[in-house]
Amino acid sequence: MLPYGRQSIADDDVRAVAEVLRGDWLTTGPAVRAFEAELARWTGGVPCVSVTSGTAALHVAYVAAGVKAGDDVVTTPMTFVATAATAALLGARVVFADVEPDTANLDPEAARAAVTPRTRVIAAVDYAGHPADHDGLREVADGAGALLLDDAAHSIGSLHRGRPVGSLADLTTFSFFPTKTVTTAEGGAVAAADPGLLDRAARFRNHGLVREPALQRDPGHGGWHQEVHTFGLNYRLPDVLCALGLSQLRRLAQFRARRAALVARYNAMLAQVPGLALPPRRPYADPSWHLYPVRVLGGRRREVYDRMREAGIGVQVNYIPAYWHPVFEDLGYRRGMCPNAEAYYARQLSLPLYPDLTDTDQDRVVETLTKILR
Ligand SMILES: *Cc1c(COP(=O)(O)O)cnc(C)c1O
C-alpha cells in the first residue's frame, strides 16, 4: 500500500544516530542543543525547546501561556484532537471557531466572534502546511489580550509574507512524527521569542527543576542542590532522537522543494478532473506542504476513499472535526457548530505526499483517481 505520508531516512540520518549511540550521552547531551539551534535557523532565530512529541509541545505551550481552569482557548476544529485536548486537560474551556471553507484554516472573523475576556490563547493550525491568516489572527489576539499559538505540526519551513513559521505567533509548536515533514520518530518542539514563555516551557519539560543557584530559594546546600518551584513533567527529547532531527533539518530545504514539485504536478495533472476541488494557495503563503488535501464533490468522498484503498493507494482523511469526538460530545458540544469545517470534512481526502514518492507512483495515484471520477 502506498502510504499518504512517510519519513525519508538517508544514510546520513542513520550515521548521525549511530554516532550518538556509541557516544557518552543517550539523553540530554550536546545533540539536544545542536538540534534546537538548527531548528531556530528555520524559525527566523526564535529560540526553541525540544520535547517528546507535538502533543507534549502543545501541553508545554499552554502551560507556558498560563492556561488554567476558567480560561478559554479558541481554536479550529480542523485539526488533530491534541490541539484541543491538551488545553482541555489543563481545565480550559475549548471554544471552536469555524475555518475558511477552502484553506480549512481558522477564520479570523470567526475567531473574533468567539473571543471573550476569558480568552487566554487563540490556537491556529497551518493546515496542510499552508500558513493561516496570521495578520488577521494577530489583530484578533491583540484586541482580545490573548496570546497567539501556532500549531505548526504541518508547516515547518513555511513562510507567511516572507516570514518563517515560528516567528509569526507568540508560541509555535512543532511535531516530528514520521508522517510530518521532519521526523525524530517521536518528537516535538516549542518556539517562543519571549524569554518568560520560553523559560516556563523549558522548565516544565524538565520537572520544573531550578538548577541556577541565583534563582533558588535555599541555595546553600551544595553543588547537588536543585529545587522545584512549579510542577512539571519529563518531556525531554533524547540526544539519540535530536541527532536524527539535526540530520533531518539539514535535509529540510530538499524536502520542501520535493514536496513543492509533487504539489505542482498534482495541481497540473488534476486541474481538469471533474468533481474535485484542489487546495488553494493565498498570495501571502509560501507553504512547505505536509498534506495534499483535495475535496471530492458530489457526495463521493467515501466511495473514492474505498476505491483508492482497494487499488493499494493509502489515502487518508484529515480530520474529523475535533468536537465530533465523543469526549467533546459528552461535554455538550453539538454537530452543526462549525458548518465550514463540517462541509470540508465531508469532502476531504489526502493524497500521498512525501519526498520519496516517485513521479511514477504519483502518476498511478492520478490515473486511479481520474478513472474513478470520470
Ligand atoms: C501530528 C499533529 C499533532 C500531534 O503531534 P504528535 O507528535 O503526533 O504528538 C498535533 N497537531 C497537529 C495539527 C498534528 O498534525
**Ligand 1 mean position to 135 CA, how many Å?**
24
User: Among 94, 156, 175, 184, which is best to mutate for testing ligand 1, by the most ligand atoms less than 8 A from CB?
Assistant: 175
Residue 24 to residue 243: CA distance in whole angstroms: 13
What is the atom index within ligand 1 of the atom nearest the CA of 187? Answer: 7
Closest atom, ligand 1, to C-alpha of 154: 15
Q: Which of 28, 30, 249, 289 minimizes the C-alpha distance to 158?
A: 289
What one-letter code names the amino acid at 192? A
Q: Name every protein residue with a CB atom under 6 angstroms from any ligand 1 atom.
A: 53-55, 79-80, 82-83, 125, 151, 153-154, 175, 177, 188
Look up residue 126 and give its DSSP letter. Answer: -
DSSP state for residue 176 in the 8-state scheme: -
d(CA 342, CA 257): 32
E-state strands within 67-217: 72-75, 93-96, 119-125, 147-151, 159-160, 163-164, 171-175, 188-191, 209-210
The full set of domains in the chain, from first to last, is: 11-249 (3.40.640.10), 252-373 (3.90.1150.10)
Q: Which residue puts its alpha carbon closest to atom 15 of ligand 1? A: 153
Q: Which of 7, 75, 80 to mutate to test the pocket of ligand 1 (most atoms within 8 A of CB)?
A: 80
Q: How far is the CA of 184 from the centre of ligand 1 (A)?
A: 13
Residue 87, all three cell numbers: 488545553
Within the chain, residue ranges assigned H as helices are 11-21, 30-42, 54-64, 82-89, 108-114, 134-144, 195-205, 239-249, 252-270, 301-310, 326-329, 339-347, 359-373
Record the pTM: 0.98
Q: Per-residue pLDDT for the chain (374 aa), expressed as one digit of tens each?
A: 999 999 999 999 999 999 999 999 999 999 999 999 999 999 999 999 999 999 999 999 999 999 999 999 999 999 999 999 999 999 999 999 999 999 999 999 999 999 999 999 999 999 999 999 999 999 999 999 999 999 999 999 999 999 999 999 999 999 999 999 999 999 999 999 999 999 999 999 999 999 999 999 999 899 999 999 999 999 999 999 999 999 999 999 999 999 999 999 999 999 999 999 999 999 999 999 999 999 999 999 999 999 999 999 999 999 999 999 999 999 999 999 999 999 999 999 999 999 999 999 999 999 999 999 98
Strand-pairing partners, residue 175, are 188
C-alpha cell at 216: 533558588
**Pairing of the two strands 159-160 and 163-164:** antiparallel
Cα(176) to ligand 1 centroid in Å equals 8
